[in-house]
Structure 1
Amino acid sequence: MRLHRNLVFAVIDGLSEIFNEGAYADKVVQKLLKRDKRWGSRDRSFVAETVYDIVRWKRLYAEIADVSEPFSRENLWRIFAVWATLRGITLPDWKQIEPTPTRRIKGRFDELSNTRKFRESIPDWMDELGEKELGAKWDKEIAALNQQAPVVLRANSLKITRDKLRSILEDENIDTEFIKGYPSALQLTERANVFSTEAFKNGLFEVQDGSSQLVADFLEVKPGQRVIDTCAGAGGKTLHLAALMENKGQIIAMDIYSNKLKELKRRARRAGAHNIEPRTIESTKDIKKLYGKADRVLIDAPCSGLGVLSRNPDAKWKLQPEFLDKIRQTQSEILESYSKMVKPGGKLVYATCSILPSENQNQVKEFLTKEIGKEFIFVKDKKVLSSESGFDGFYMALLERK
């Protein structure tokens, strides 16, 4: 493989923004891909995949290169040289790249690979927490979360069947396969830009991870019900609920961020979902107005996001232990307050994209001991580990109000 100077410079610039300025990897990559109109799809995928790869393995590569943060440009080139060497790529004779000690790099890699926190490239505190909460499963789980996430689509049943979508995509040269146990899902056999397809523009599918597709089903919605999605965000699960309800009934999609709800409106238009009413949460009044009014409530709670590290590898470096304490407190308050929207006989799903019991089953257990919690019965829950499913780590619990 030959390295092209302008592509590698783009990678170095991107890494500098992510590591030294705290920018989000996905936003940086989006911007980099617009840098040169002459780049073909192979060039763009080199930039995107190399940036994500080095972000994912930052700690390991920095240890091998013997450099520490904040990274100077010179140090970023050293990290890049480690990445290239471990991939068997011959480094060009550029003045930015020092003579690279290939044998030392490989030796150091073998040596560091014996210690999990270096091998899996994670901060010490995260390694300790994972082991404390998941025990023997942590080893396999963190290894799975370091794999590149598959691209999974959800066929929009308001407009098309999954089988028909598959053949339409085939006509657009995009190959997919069915996934057993995921009734609306298609997985890409190789990565491609699905957003430029006619099928996407016509609202025939959404990009949604397999685990995330389980949540709306778990809520057991029926056409004609009144459903509240309390932390709707840009609406991945809201749109799935609309499809399961066949556009009948009402979905109130709530969030504290109105810009996310704007995006949801746009997506709903494309998907042909007409039963969604976005509402920004401006104060507790907005919640109290709905007490006892909903047949179904979904609380897709804010969380550490540890189950989606394969999708957001920079979260490993942005997350702080004190944030976790704060988010657990928030989860507990949200569950206590939002659960009151469920009417007697109605159902509630509490879900997170975390793999930590302290954010998941322990939250539910604690909720059930509270005054409002005593009005609910625990029906079932599902713990999805990335190492077992091949998709994101997730948790969901179904509760019913007496």
Structure 2
Amino acid sequence: MMTSENSTDTPTLSLLLLDDEQCILDSLKRLLRKDYRLITFTQGQEALAYLEENHVDMVMSDMRMPNMDGAEFLCRAKAIIPEAIRILLTGYSDLESTIKAINQGGVYTYIEKPWDNEALQLTLAKAAEHYKLKIEKQRLTGRLANANKELEQFNQRLEQKVSQRTQALQISKQKLAMALNRHQDLFQDVLEMISATIEYRTGLGSAHTKRIALQAKALAVQLKLDECECRRIHLCALLHEIGTVGLTDDMLKQPNISGTNLDETFDNHPVIGADIIGQVKRFEPLTATIRHQNENIDGSGLPEHLAGDDIPVGARIIRVVKDFDYLIAGKQNHKKITVNGAKIWLQKQAGVLYDKNVVNAFLQIISNKSHNQDMEMIYSVGLEAVRPGDVLTEDLTLDNGNTMLKAGQELNDAMITRLRHYEKEYATQVTLFIN
């Protein structure tokens, strides 16, 4: 049976609720009616039939129901409306089924029963914001496409051929250069599109890029570089992996620390990136930093074997930050080490791979969080350094792909203890990212 309820001022987002207990639906309607346009069902088949004919933005289903459980319903709903946000109501005893729903039904998150009203509202608000941002991104893409015919052609080509290698990117960058010359006010939007290309090619999310960029900028400030240079280094860090679009899939699986690869082609991806960036006039000042990010301080690096101060300071900074991040959290690093272990590595390689002054300044920043309260920064910490009250900036995802803790959660003693048990039981290292 279906019911629909609207508030006086029709909310922006629609929310479909499915539960075989009418009393549960009534409780949810009382709680959520002012925030969403609600459509409720007690039967899974009726809800699926409705989705075949109507659009909804969000779907929330109970797990345990007769005839069709929540995991099956959300999996089938995903096939009908893949863009909708899917949320599962579940009890602790349904953990196995919950994992199934997450894997097969593309569940955004789950809420344990009995729920806390404020926590449920906050979770739904975050899901709604995620959905709105996705829709807003689509709207902005359309707006850019209408700006003029040449930029529209560029956007269409980027959308259709982003997975192609250097040839397609060469065509796109020419159009990008033309657009930048004619539309300086679109600079930020173009930068976001380039970042999305890097994320798509490397499989690394925006959180990774943001973390590297913020740490590189903070390190530049710590070294007392001028404001203009700090901004330039921050921008270089956002774009330092652009050259990976010219690599094969096998090359992208290579280790990410220069000098450890079997194929030097990977170490030379900064050259590809510098050539790409150099085609855009406004980005020309960034090319040297991007090109030389894999040089070694002793002159043994690539591509030109520069040494010491001949290596641009921005390249020396990015080298330290990205290698540190790879050691503790690299996607292709199957032998991750602890944060303390990575610090020791940097110290041992200072004077060989890395600039000693840059290493010392970086270690000072990441080891003295309490002294950097005014600095915009994301810290990489192990469990030995995390404290109750620290707030996660990124989801904590297990090796099996499941999310243990969500971004935005404030850690407490119980959570930290549970993480230490997990680390010990599975003989693994847990790295957290906090601000």
| TM-score normalised by structure 1 residue count | 0.29
**Higher CA-based Rg:** 2
Q: 1 or 2 for the larger relative contact order (CA 8 Å, sep ≥6)?
A: 1
